[in-house]
Amino acid sequence: MTAEPRPTSAHRLPAPGRPVPTSTYRVQLGADLTFDDVTARVPYLASLGVTHLYLSPVLRAAPGSTHGYDVVAHDEVSPVIGGRAGLDRLARAAHDAGLGLVLDIVPNHMAVPTPAWHNRPLWSVLAEGPDSPYARWFDVDWSAGEGALLAPVLGDRIGAVLARDELALDEVDVPGAGPTTVLRYFDHVFPVRSGTESLPLADLVDRQHYRLAYWRVADEELNYRRFFDVGTLVAVRVEDPEVFDATHALVLELLADGTIDGLRIDHPDGLADPGGYLARLREASGDAWVVVEKILEADEALPADWDTAGTTGYDAAWRIGQAFVDPGGAAPLGALMHRVTGDSSEDFPGVVEAAKREVVDGPLYAEVRRLTALAASICHDDLRLRDHTWRSLEDCLIELLVAFDRYRAYVVPGRPVQPVDADVLEAAARIARSRLSVERDATMDVLVDLLLGREVGSAGRTRGARRDELVVRFQQTCGAVMAKGVEDTAYYRWTHLVGLCEVGGDPERFALTPTELLAWASHQQVGSPLGMTTLTTHDTKRGEDTRARLGVLSERADEWAALVDALRATSAPYRSTLLDGRTEYLLWQTLAGTWTADGPVEGSRLEEYLVKAIREAKTHTTWTSPDRRYEDAVLRAARAALGDPVVLELLSGWEQRTREAVRAATLGTKLVQLTFPGVADVYQGTEVPNPTLVDPDNRRYVDVHPLSARLARLDDGAGPRDLADEKLLVTSRALRLRRDLPAAFVGPDAGFRPLAHSSGNTLTYARTVAGEPRVAVVATRLATIVERLGGWADHSIALPDGEWRDVLSGATRAGGVRPVAELLERLPVALLVQTDG
């Protein structure tokens, strides 16, 4: 599944004539938001100015799914959200309104549902084992587990379950198969292998193509690849052309008949060969617009040979956010963190290393064990490598996984290794060697050569089924370690400024300068002009408005430190000694990030978030071994704080004092994201301030009726009355400008040019067409500093020549050097379009 290299530019561009969104609006479909519900919203979304609706996964998902990423059938649109008929109705309504559709798809995994027969291919594999026509679908090691697929669903060890008679034969009506004899364990049912129905129960259990096991066994002996550490999501081998065709037929049909215009690919790093998958998808889709959920670390670049328009925008989100963070706040906030938690500003790498070690040794040990078994078998069968022991290989693999600084490299067996991939692996090996004894150096050398597909051992040996598998599986495991170790553990422990701990983010960097941000945008305009930009997704740790409020802490760091001292003093009587500093400081920042003019976040939302956060942190409690005593202590403190009049007074006062800074950050980050290079995405409900937390909080139902009424009032000429009006004004006018002037944003001649300015508190740039400026953007950053300086004074911005109209205020300005105060007279942002061009 490989493709011949093409010029880099060709990889990033859909075929001529293929639809390309100018902007998208993400909706989270489910039982409470069906296709018909979205159809009813089409007039509002068209009025808002978007060009495409961006749908969460629509294929049939596991029973009770709240998100759609747990697919059980690739050939059926989910009946829960309206089925194919509902999708067709939505498509017709959208097309009639001038809108297109973009679809999120999940190629990497399927659900292991309860009951399992909902996933027909998996049910077949459970019933027939390696002889099933679907056996090649799933990434199963049939040589392990005595040739049986591990099913880690039991609440206790198998002997105890049998002793309590918790397993029994039953008969159920399986759709498509009729009455079927099954093995039942409470809600779980499994097919019974033909010819074993009459055996004694213990013998019957032992003779199946699956091995029923205690759920904790999955962390040590799993013989199928899963999505990270989620045992209920089994990996799919789309690298097999037949599997690709079967799992993509319906999606490709929707593209071919014009129902949808483009695709968002979920987690391509989990695939055996992401580049090969994208090449095949490009060919099968007729060069459609495709973006990928690729998480790029720090200065990592999207692989140049990937057939994709770009990423889904996490790389834009964190950079835009951190350009609105005051670097001057790093030291005082670091000192505050140290006082409350004991962590110092330099500790982040150590926090990451510790977290990665914990997940490698815990929930991901089964993956490490499988890698070690592969490497050990390769060495055992080659006389020249035989003295590299299991233990030494395991030690080296663990250190490599911990040292790896990104989701993966992209080494494809049989293809030349790109220098960047070799460099990444060699860099990790250098760090790993420094953490091991010298005795392990030779084994590390062998392992690096194996992972890069080099000749090692007996002469001429570079390839082979096991060597190829080791290369691929190691890279897939790297992503799981990064996701679970960094984003789902370390990010819940690090509290320097919690808004920086975002998917794909770089909290160690703290803040970006405008120059750094604009340089990155200029690079994107050349390298990925049709990739996606975003600020909020269904997976972000915090919504854009929460992060904007948190960013203001950096602008008033000393004042925030004094406030935290006061909060700690008033809460001391009801804060249990069990409550550690990290969790306490997370609580105060969470309250500050979600506290609006209407007051604090609802208690139920706060409590649900805190439970998830402390379980993800895995310091005192976890999902698999919850410490109820610790969790109760945390929740009691949170409830008491929300009922403490002193806390209410302190945080309400903070909200009032920071209101103008929050206003500038909220509107500034939104306008920049909507006008930066790429296809701008608006996550549902974020057209107005909506301080949300991690899922499921950010996936709550959004009522658009009041938003529609608010937009209609603004369109009728009413001035904005509050921040919600202002953000809706900025969002709608930016989206409409993109829709009406696509040439400046996604056209083949679109360009990006920073504008000269005299203040470090502005972000200024132009969008151009064939080199000619057509749109100018001005945004205030770090408004607290402007306030302390008494305003903009004589600072200025050099607008390009011509006449310019601000679509936000209606004011007209002449080109040339203009005072900032004049351009930002009404709002902390301006969006100007040339009127005489």
CATH of the domain at 302: 3.20.20.80
Continuous segment of H or E residues that includes residue 776: strand 772-780
Tell me, yes or no, whether 268 lies in a domain: yes
Last residue of a domain, one of 190, 220, 235: 235
Tell me, yes or no, whether 776 lies in a domain: no
Is the per-residue pLDDT at 114 higher than 80? yes
Question: Which amino acid makes up residue 371?
Answer: L
- In this structure, the answer to whether residues 410 and 358 fall within a common structural domain is yes
Tell me, yes or no, whether 505 lies in a domain: no
Residue 794 — pLDDT band, cuts 50, 70, 90? Answer: very high
Contact between residue 323 and residue 517 where contact means Cβ atoms under 8 Å apart: yes
Query: Which 3 state secondary structure label does DSSP give 770?
Result: coil
Is the per-residue pLDDT at 226 higher than 90? no
pTM of the entire predicted model? 0.95
Question: Which amino acid makes up residue 111?
Answer: A
Question: What average pLDDT does this structure show over 553-558?
Answer: 98
Last residue of a domain, one of 487, 514, 534: 487
Residue 229 — pLDDT band, cuts 50, 70, 90? Answer: low
- In this structure, the answer to whether residues 465 and 385 fall within a common structural domain is yes
- Residue 602: partners with Cβ closer than 8 Å, 6 or more residues away: none
Question: What average pLDDT does this structure show over 213-238?
Answer: 83
Q: The tokens of 565 are what?
A: 């001292």
- In this structure, the answer to whether residues 384 and 406 fall within a common structural domain is yes
- In this structure, the answer to whether residues 226 and 85 fall within a common structural domain is no
Is the per-residue pLDDT at 263 higher than 80? yes
Euclidean distance between CA atoms 75 and 251, whole angstroms: 9
Question: What average pLDDT does this structure show over 783-810?
Answer: 96
Q: The tokens of 180 are what?
A: 């079927």
Residue 145 — pLDDT band, cuts 50, 70, 90? Answer: low
- In this structure, the answer to whether residues 288 and 364 fall within a common structural domain is no
Tell me, yes or no, whether 481 lies in a domain: yes
- In this structure, the answer to whether residues 231 and 246 fall within a common structural domain is no
Euclidean distance between CA atoms 598 and 548, whole angstroms: 17
DSSP state, residue 56: P
Give me the domain span that covers residue 121.
Answer: 116-235
727, HSE (Cβ side, Cα atoms, 13 Å): 24
- Please tell me the total count of domains within the chain: 3
> What percent of the chain has pLDDT above 90?
92
Which residues, in sequence order, are bridge partners of residue 291? 264, 310
State residue 6's pLDDT score: 38
CATH number of the domain encompassing residue 123: 3.30.1590.10
Question: What average pLDDT does this structure show over 452-461?
Answer: 91
Question: What average pLDDT does this structure show over 470-475?
Answer: 96
Tell me, yes or no, whether 202 lies in a domain: yes
- In this structure, the answer to whether residues 103 and 125 fall within a common structural domain is no
- In this structure, the answer to whether residues 100 and 120 fall within a common structural domain is no
Residue 8 — pLDDT band, cuts 50, 70, 90? Answer: very low
> What percent of the chain has pLDDT above 70?
98
CA of 179: how far to CAs of 3, 116, 204, 210, 477, in Å?
46, 15, 19, 21, 40
Contact between residue 571 and residue 330 where contact means Cβ atoms under 8 Å apart: no
Residue 205 — pLDDT band, cuts 50, 70, 90? Answer: very high
Q: The tokens of 797 are what?
A: 């911005």
Tell me, yes or no, whether 300 lies in a domain: yes
Contact between residue 126 and residue 190 where contact means Cβ atoms under 8 Å apart: yes
Average per-residue pLDDT in the chain? 95
pLDDT, one tens digit per residue, over 128-139 is 999 999 999 998
Is the per-residue pLDDT at 795 higher than 70? yes
State residue 352's pLDDT score: 98
Contact between residue 311 and residue 293 where contact means Cβ atoms under 8 Å apart: yes
Last residue of a domain, one of 201, 235, 269: 235
- In this structure, the answer to whether residues 387 and 423 fall within a common structural domain is yes
State residue 298's pLDDT score: 81
Euclidean distance between CA atoms 193 and 187, whole angstroms: 19
Euclidean distance between CA atoms 46 and 37, whole angstroms: 15
State residue 223's pLDDT score: 80
- In this structure, the answer to whether residues 213 and 305 fall within a common structural domain is no
- In this structure, the answer to whether residues 231 and 242 fall within a common structural domain is no
State residue 140's pLDDT score: 86
Tell me, yes or no, whether 468 lies in a domain: yes
pLDDT, one tens digit per residue, over 774-785 is 999 999 999 999
Tell me, yes or no, whether 531 lies in a domain: no
Question: What average pLDDT does this structure show over 426-451?
Answer: 97
CA of 456: how far to CAs of 419, 433, 448, 460, 812, in Å?
19, 19, 10, 8, 70
pLDDT, one tens digit per residue, over 24-82 is 999 999 999 999 999 999 999 999 999 999 999 999 999 999 999 999 999 999 999 99
- In this structure, the answer to whether residues 272 and 389 fall within a common structural domain is no
pLDDT, one tens digit per residue, over 322-374 is 999 999 999 999 999 999 999 999 999 999 999 999 999 999 999 999 999 99
Question: What average pLDDT does this structure show over 15-25?
Answer: 95
State residue 761's pLDDT score: 97
Question: What average pLDDT does this structure show over 799-808?
Answer: 97
Euclidean distance between CA atoms 268 and 375, whole angstroms: 25
Greatest alpha-carbon pair distance for the chain in Å reads 91
State residue 754's pLDDT score: 98
Euclidean distance between CA atoms 76 and 58, whole angstroms: 9
State residue 231's pLDDT score: 73
pLDDT, one tens digit per residue, over 394-424 is 999 999 999 999 999 999 999 999 999 999 9
Is the per-residue pLDDT at 90 higher than 50? yes
Is the per-residue pLDDT at 2 higher than 60? no
State residue 227's pLDDT score: 65
Q: For residue 413, how many other CB atoms are within 10 A of its CB? A: 17
Is the per-residue pLDDT at 125 higher than 80? yes
